[in-house]
Amino acid sequence: MLETEQPLSILVTGGAGQVGLELLAAKWPDHITLHAPARSELDLGNPSAIERLFSSRAYAAVINSGAYTAVDQAENEVAAAYSANALGPALLADATRAAGIPLIQVSTDYVFDGAHVGEYNEDEAVQPLGVYGASKLAGEMAVLRGNPRSAVLRTAWVVSQHRTNFVKTMLRLATERHTLRVVNDQHGNPTSARDIAEALKTITLRMIEDEAAPRGIFHFVNAGATTWAGLAREVLALSEAHGGPTAKVENITTAEFPTLASRPANSRLATQRIQREYGVVPRPWQSAVYEIVDQLSAKE
C-alpha cells in the first residue's frame, strides 16, 4: 500500500455466487478489502440488514452481484425474484446515494426480447420475456434512478468452475448419456464469471477514484457468439481433449425443449461502450471456456 492510500472497503453481495466468488478471488490493490457478508447476514430484500451493514462500517463502493437467478422458478416465485432483484437494488441505491459512494449493479441480457437483428447496444429498447428479466430490469431502473453515481453491467450466459452452470451441466450429462439434445436456435455470448469480475473491478476502482467516471449502462460479454449447442460442442471437445467425458450433440429447437420462462432467441450484446470508456477488451468466449474446462479437469 502506498502511504497516501487510505484502506478502503467494498461491499460485495452474492459473494457465494459465480461472479461473487471470482470477485473475491481476484487480485485487488493492497489498500482495498472486500466485505462479502453471507446471505444470512445480508438478505437483499431486507431493509434493516442493509441499514445495519451501512451503520457498522464505511464503504467506498458496493458491487451488487447477488441476485435471484433461477430463471424458470422465478415464474412461480415472483415475490422472491422481485425482492432480491428489484427491492434489493433499490435499497442499495438509497444507501449508497446517502453515503455518497458508487453502486455497481450486475444485470442481464434477459432484459431484451431477442427480436432485434444483430448485437444489442446499451440503448436498445428493453422488453423482458419473463419474471426474472422483468425483475432485473426493475433493479436496473431503481439503481440508475436512485444513485446518480451508479453503473449497470449487463452480462450473459455466465459460466465458471463454480456452482451450477451450463458448462458443468454438459460435463455431468456427458457422463450419463452418449447423445445430448441441445437448443441451437438461441444466440448469445458465453461469458466467464472471472472476466466479469475483472470488468467489475476496473469499473469500481475508477468510480471510487474519479467522481466523473463514466456511468450508466455497460454491456460486458466475452467476444464472439454461439448457440447453446455450439457451446456444448466446444465444452465436450475440450473435455475429450483433457481425457474427460464427452458426448455427441444433437441440435434441437427451442420448441422441442419447452421451459417455464421464454428466453430471447438473440441476446448478443455489443461491448464497444465498455471497451471505449473503460478500456475493457473481452477475450473470445472459446478461450474463457477452455480455462474453465481446464480448471474443472484439474479438480478431477
Ligand X SMILES: NC(=O)c1ccc[n+]([C@@H]2O[C@H](COP(=O)([O-])OP(=O)(O)OC[C@H]3O[C@@H](n4cnc5c(N)ncnc54)[C@H](OP(=O)(O)O)[C@@H]3O)[C@@H](O)[C@H]2O)c1
What are the residues whose beta carbons fall under 8 Å from the beta carbon of 87, sequence distance 6 or more? 44, 45
Return the residues of window 23-62 that contact ligand X according to CB under 6 A: 39, 42-45
Binding mask 221-260 for ligand X (x = CB under 6 A): ----------------------------------------
DSSP SS3 for 175? coil
Active site residue 120: no
Q: Which of 228/278 has CB closer to ligand X?
A: 228
- Residue pair 221/155 in contact (Cβ under 8 Å)? The answer is yes
Q: Among residues 59, 132, 278, 290, which one is catalytic?
A: 132
Angle 184-190-192 from CA coordinates, rounded to 5°: 155
Restricting to residues 183-212, name those near ligand X by CB under 6 A. Answer: 193
Cβ proximity to ligand X: between 11 and 101 the closer is: 11
- Contact residue for ligand X among 32, 60, 84, 296 (CB under 6 A): 84
Contact status: 66 vs ligand X (CB under 6 A): yes
- Does position 168 bind ligand X by CB under 6 A? no
Contact residues for 269 (Cβ-Cβ < 8 A; gap 6+): 109, 119, 120, 154, 155, 156, 189, 219, 220, 221
Choice between 89 and 246, CB closer to ligand X: 89
Under DSSP, the state recorded for 297 is H
**Is 65 among the residues that bind ligand X (CB under 6 A)?**
yes
> From the list 10, 11, 12, 20, which residue makes contact with ligand X (rule: CB under 6 A)?
20
Cα dist from 17 to 21, 25, 67, 118, whole Å: 6, 12, 9, 30
Tell me the closest approach of the beta carbon of residue 55 to ligand X, in angstroms: 19
Contact 147, 103 (CB under 8 A): yes
- Interface residue with ligand X among 10, 12, 18, 278 (CB under 6 A) is 18
Pick the piece of the chain touching ligand X (CB under 6 A) from 65-73, 92-100, 232-240, 270-278: 65-73
Grid coordinates of 40: 444470512
Residue 61: C-alpha distances to residues 75, 154, 189, 204 (Å): 32, 18, 28, 7
Q: Interface with ligand X by CB under 6 A: which residues?
A: 13-14, 16-20, 39, 42-45, 65-69, 83-84, 106, 108-109, 136, 155-158, 163, 193
Which residues are catalytically annotated?
132
